[in-house]
Chains A and B, each alone.
Chain A
Amino acid sequence: MASGLEKLADGRWRLKTDAGTELIAPVIVIAAGGGSFVPKRPPVPHIEAYEDRGDGVGVHYAVRKMDAFRGKNIVIAGGGDSALDWTINLAPLAKSLTLVHHRDGFRAAQHSVNQMRELEREGKVKFHVASVKQLHGEHGKLTGVTLSGADKKEWQLETDAFLPFFGLTIKLGPIAEFGLNLHENLIPVDTAKFESMTPGIFAIGDINSYPGKLKLILSGFHEAALMAQAAFHICKPNEKLRFQYTTSSSSLQKKLGVHA
């Protein structure tokens, strides 16, 4: 994922990714839609303090190393396939595993629900109609959670790891830090070039905004075509742009692999 953008002395851009890759280009086109999909974070106070605290402890929105959860007290929240799959897979490793969900029913696959119920009968999983209201710990080390049941009665549970599985939501992410004069999380552009206020940075699709904007795929194609015309002049300042149609241009047909 793009994590940083800076302008070089020669006018080009250097884009860095979170994996450490650097890309240098004369033009940047942002076609990020509404942003990127990130896990939904439950509205539990100070939950961020327990994130990224290492394998098997604290708050996790995904499981990378199953073995890290061996011997841990685990609380899983949610009722979809992820919640049920990890309940089933981690129960044999965990010291204790508690699944909480807001109702006694699940949208997960019936087969998974049956397996979870079986584990519950065997006493390997505890299930409560409840939600996690608070996290307890010190210096980012999770030690317990407060659960609130359907009757609003609250109780605490010793917990090393809390795994909420509520699906994904869209967050704008690092684009917000690119200095593009965002307006309500959208990038204002002109409608001749679809260029942002920063010359050389274009924005097309759902991420941009301009008077009359319609969030349609059709509009996105139109924006891409006009952007490409403008970007060409920046990328190849000494070349003449030749406007052609795929119906008649053999060079375009060759590029597309549809040459007769």
Chain B
Amino acid sequence: MKIIATDRKGAEHVIEGRDGWSVMEMLRDAGLPVAAECGGACACATCHVYVNDGWYEKLSPPSDAEVDMLDMALAVEPNSRLSCQIVCAEALDGIKVTVAPE
């Protein structure tokens, strides 16, 4: 599956997603500036992304823990998610995300 990620400067990156890995890991491995300070434990809100173009609705809804942790993210929008909580799968081929501001 492919992830179409927009960085903070507006540049688009097409990243290969590994089944079962988190979108955060894919963005980080591709060199995008995702701090992911807690390493993917849903404990820091520094892997915050916006999920675009109707993809938000296709994701399984955020857990209570993720909703709580998003309270610590900056510039939260209705399509905000923590990318460590989105798991790559074929059904998400072509998912569009934008890295949120720091």
Q: Chain B's nearest CB lies how many Å from the CB of A100?
A: 11
B72 touching A40, Cβ below 8 Å: yes
With a cutoff of 8 Å between Cβ atoms, the chain A residues found around residue B68 in the complex are 107
Does A80 lie at the interface of the complex (its beta carbon under 8 Å from any beta carbon of B)?
yes
Does B75 lie at the interface of the complex (its beta carbon under 8 Å from any beta carbon of A)?
yes
User: What's the tally of chain A residues with a CB closer than 8 Å to chain B?
Assistant: 20
B102 touching A43, Cβ below 8 Å: yes
With a cutoff of 8 Å between Cβ atoms, the chain A residues found around residue B37 in the complex are 34, 169-170
Name the CB-closest residue of B to A79: B71
Does A137 lie at the interface of the complex (its beta carbon under 8 Å from any beta carbon of B)?
no
A169 touching B35, Cβ below 8 Å: yes
Does A237 lie at the interface of the complex (its beta carbon under 8 Å from any beta carbon of B)?
no
Does A106 lie at the interface of the complex (its beta carbon under 8 Å from any beta carbon of B)?
yes
B67 touching A105, Cβ below 8 Å: yes
Does B73 lie at the interface of the complex (its beta carbon under 8 Å from any beta carbon of A)?
yes
Does B74 lie at the interface of the complex (its beta carbon under 8 Å from any beta carbon of A)?
yes
B76 touching A102, Cβ below 8 Å: yes
With a cutoff of 8 Å between Cβ atoms, the chain A residues found around residue B80 in the complex are 102
Does A209 lie at the interface of the complex (its beta carbon under 8 Å from any beta carbon of B)?
no
Name the CB-closest residue of A to B73: A166
B67 touching A43, Cβ below 8 Å: no
Does B40 lie at the interface of the complex (its beta carbon under 8 Å from any beta carbon of A)?
no
Does A42 lie at the interface of the complex (its beta carbon under 8 Å from any beta carbon of B)?
yes
Q: A34-B37, A170-B37 are in contact. Are A40 and B74 (CB under 8 A)?
A: yes
Interface mask (B59-74 → A, CB under 8 Å = 1, otherwise 0): 0000000011111111
With a cutoff of 8 Å between Cβ atoms, the chain B residues found around residue A107 in the complex are 67-69, 71-72
Name the CB-closest residue of B to A150: B78
Q: A169-B35, A170-B37 are in contact. Are A131 and B71 (CB under 8 A)?
A: no
CA gap between A167 and B69 in the complex, in Å: 10
Does B94 lie at the interface of the complex (its beta carbon under 8 Å from any beta carbon of A)?
no
A42 touching B71, Cβ below 8 Å: no
Name the CB-closest residue of B to A165: B72
Does A78 lie at the interface of the complex (its beta carbon under 8 Å from any beta carbon of B)?
yes
Q: A interface vs B, CB < 8 Å?
A: 34, 40-43, 78-80, 101-103, 105-107, 131, 150, 166-167, 169-170
Q: A102-B80, A103-B67, A169-B44 are in contact. List 8 more A-B contacts (CB 8 A).
A: A40-B74, A42-B75, A43-B74, A80-B71, A106-B71, A107-B72, A131-B75, A170-B37
